[in-house]
Amino acid sequence: MLPFFLKLFANAKPPPDDQELLQLYRQTRELKHLGELFEKHSEMVYLVCLKYLREESDSKDASMQLFEYLVEAVLKHEITNFKSWLHVTTKNHCLMLLRSRSRKPEVAISEFTPQPMENHDPMHLTESEQAEKTEQVLQQALQELPPEQRQCIELFYLQQKSYKEIAGITECDLNKVKSYIQNGKRNLKLYMEKHHEPR
Domains in the chain, ordered, with CATH?
A: 15-102 (1.10.1740.10), 105-195 (1.10.10.10)
Rounded to the nearest angstrom, the gap between the alpha carbon of residue 90 and the centroid of all alpha carbons in its chain is 12
123: pLDDT confidence band, cut at 50, 70 and 90?
very low
- pLDDT value of residue 112: 53
Look up residue 180 and give its amino acid: Y
Contact predicate 112/180, CB 8 Å: no
User: What pLDDT, in 10s, does the model give residues 97-111?
Assistant: 888 766 544 434 445
User: What pLDDT, in 10s, does the model give residues 58-96?
Assistant: 999 999 999 999 999 999 888 999 999 999 999 998 988
Question: Which has the closest alpha carbon to 89: 66, 112, 119, 117?
Answer: 66
CA distance 146 to 148: 6
Percent of the chain with pLDDT over 70: 73
Look up residue 195 and give its amino acid: H
**Model confidence pTM above 0.75:** no
What are the residue ranges of helices labelled H in the chain?
4-11, 18-28, 31-40, 42-53, 56-76, 82-102, 105-112, 127-144, 147-153, 163-170, 174-195
User: What pLDDT, in 10s, does the model give residues 9-44?
Assistant: 555 567 789 999 999 999 999 999 999 999 999 999
The Cα-based distances of 196 to 37, 39, 115, 135, 155 in angstroms read: 55, 53, 10, 10, 23
Residues present in the chain in total? 199
Contact predicate 172/98, CB 8 Å: no
CA distance 96 to 102: 10
Average pLDDT over residues 154-167: 82
